[in-house]
Structure 1
Amino acid sequence: MSSRQSAVRDLNTIKDFIRYSYSRFQQADLFYGHGTDNPWDEAVHLVMGGLSLPLDFDRDMLDCAITYNEKKRLLKLIDTRIKKREPLPYLLGEAWFMGLPFKVTKDTLIPRSPIISLLESEFSPWLNQYPASILDMCTGSGCLGIAAALVFDDAMVDLTDISDAALKVANENIALHQVEERVQTIHSDMFAALTGKKYDLIICNPPYVDQQDFQQAPAEFHNEPQLALTSGEDGLHFTHQFLAQVADYMNDDAILVYEVGNTEVALQAAYPDTPFMWVELEQGGNGVFILTKEQLNQLLHEQQ
């Protein structure tokens, strides 16, 4: 009898499968960082998500029996998570960001941007006016822009990406969160389709992983779209082009909120005279800076 057949025979309850998943994950040397940070939480999320049950499901109900087909589905999810190193949100088709569910596919990054801390504080104290117009560039699933639309519930928000497949997912999330009247997607290679537009707040979580970091990254990251992760040898190819243009799309009191992660050191070396405001993030993470339009114009002047 195979181990899979034994599991189908011997495991019967929700609690059984959580324990079994945890044991398998403990032995598998997985990477956690796409919604959970340890094998126990990963096991709970997989089992509850695989059964379409909420995480706050009544603990007294964890002894409920699981059907034969449910057992097969959970075992397949466990095996795929371990053997293919697929991040759990891809297996479940859903990720959580700022307490909100978002649909995800392998055409989008899994939401985890530390910009979440700034969204929750409404970008205080850097944003001096209510942002009537917001741009979320490199939107992927649309999580940052949609969350911004829910925080600033009178704002108009544009979500842009070069990937049609990602924008399809973003449109599904726009509908999921019922913000169709204020949020739209635009297919654009950086600013190519935004001629004449200006914004009060621009958010961007671009590709910024350098080649060395990408090559050394855990296998789970290699299941995400490389287009959304890497940007040249030093990770700054996109950023150089972006910084040279973004001021033209900002209103006078606008701010840019931009994530570069571990490429922060390389960016500071490339622009030593630019006063990047590196934000201390309450929920952890690093490499998020803020610049005003005036500071960006000064950067351009210094580059000439």
Structure 2
Amino acid sequence: MSELPKNDLDEVVDTLHSPADFVRWGASAFAQADLAFGHGLDNAFDEAYYLVRHSLHLPHEVPELYLRTRLLTEERRRVAQCILARLEGRKPAAYLTGEAWFCGLRFRVDERVIVPRSPLAELIGDAFAPWLAHPPRRILDLCSGSGCIAIACAMIFPEAEVHAVEIDPGAAELMFANIADHGMEHRVFGHVGDLYAPLAAQGETAFDLIVTNPPYVPEEEWQALPAEYHAEPKLALAAGDDGMDVVARLLQGAPDWLSQDGVLIGEIGASTAEFDSRFADLPAHWPEFEFGGSGVFIIERAALVDWLARQ
């Protein structure tokens, strides 16, 4: 990693004047500092633009004229502090702004949850077509984190009852806050606990769809990740030597919680080799994504039951 650029806050505030100035400076500084991207944005320019826009309370679509206007001293200082915080703290931008976007929806985020960025968003946007036999009446989101998957599913399927389970109490606080922010308390029900355990304790019944973005990063791979990923909770990322410890428990327990024609959909990202090694011959489907991303498996209950019986 290259050395961080030496930036003096007062010099930056005195020298730069327009939003465009700060976008250019931020993008250059981010590239020079070799920051890691991958928490919703994938390049230095877009991340600098996002932080400048957010610091100035500007909308997503900013007319070009606005980018050339002169800023007040207080505005310049606020933007510069945000850019420098990203450089010096090496935290994902979402932790600086306190928000992330998923399926076109805004969610609160902080260091208690990973930043939403799953390719599952594309499947949700397509109502999981063509993988479901009928619109699900009951949906379960395991390892829910911020609750973004559960809430987005509730938006797509307005007749469905959705349950979200999160093991970490701090993450669950954010999950409940996001459920309330979106006015979903009457249809999205949060649970704190380990995978299926809180559902059994509360007498819940089977689900037509289980969707999950569990931890799946091998321990050694997690150790080598850039600082931006180490700013996220390890519990939500790493899962044993091959990353498959939580996935194994998900698969084992799923038949008891899926309806007869139910479907399990899970993300395992770049850990497909570890998945194939640990779960040889599992008859899963692997959809392709138009907007990027990979590593999502889909398996019907009947196929999962048959595979488990052969183990």
Shorter-chain TM range is over 0.9
TM-score, normalising length: structure 1: 0.95
Residue 57 (structure 1) shift: 2.1
**In 2, Cα distance between equivalents of 1:54 and 1:125:** 35
Runs of 4+ in 1 over 3 A off after TM superposition: none
Q: Does structure 2 retain, via aligned residues, the 8 Å contact 1:162–1:189? A: yes
Partner residue of 1:133? Answer: 138
Q: Is residue 278 of structure 1 aligned with residue 283 of structure 2?
A: no
TM-score, normalising length: structure 2: 0.93
**In 2, Cα distance between equivalents of 1:18 and 1:267:** 41
Out of 221, 230, 249, which is 2:229 matched to? Answer: 221
Partner residue of 1:57? Answer: 62
**In 1, Cα distance between equivalents of 2:100 and 2:79:** 18
Unaligned 5+ runs, structure 2: 1-6
Matched residue SS, 2:198:
coil
Out of 157, 164, 169, which is 1:159 matched to? Answer: 164
Partner residue of 1:124? Answer: 129
Q: Is residue 245 of structure 1 aligned with residue 244 of structure 2?
A: no
**In 1, Cα distance between equivalents of 2:113 and 2:253:** 25
Q: Does structure 1 retain, via aligned residues, the 8 Å contact 2:139–2:160? A: yes
Unaligned 5+ runs, structure 1: none
Partner residue of 1:261? Answer: 269
Residue 142 (structure 1) shift: 0.9
Residue 16 (structure 1) shift: 2.0
Q: Does structure 2 retain, via aligned residues, the 8 Å contact 1:136–1:160? A: yes
Out of 192, 195, 199, which is 1:190 matched to? Answer: 195
Deviations 1:31-57 (A, max 9, x none): 111121111111100100112211212
**In 1, Cα distance between equivalents of 2:52 and 2:263:** 42
Identity %, equivalent residues:
40
Residue 207 (structure 1) shift: 0.4
Matched residue SS, 2:101:
strand
Partner residue of 2:111? Answer: 106
**In 1, Cα distance between equivalents of 2:233 and 2:23:** 29
**In 2, Cα distance between equivalents of 1:51 and 1:171:** 28
Q: Does structure 2 retain, via aligned residues, the 8 Å contact 1:129–1:253? A: no
**In 2, Cα distance between equivalents of 1:221 and 1:93:** 16
Q: For the aligned residues, what is the CA RMSD?
A: 1.4
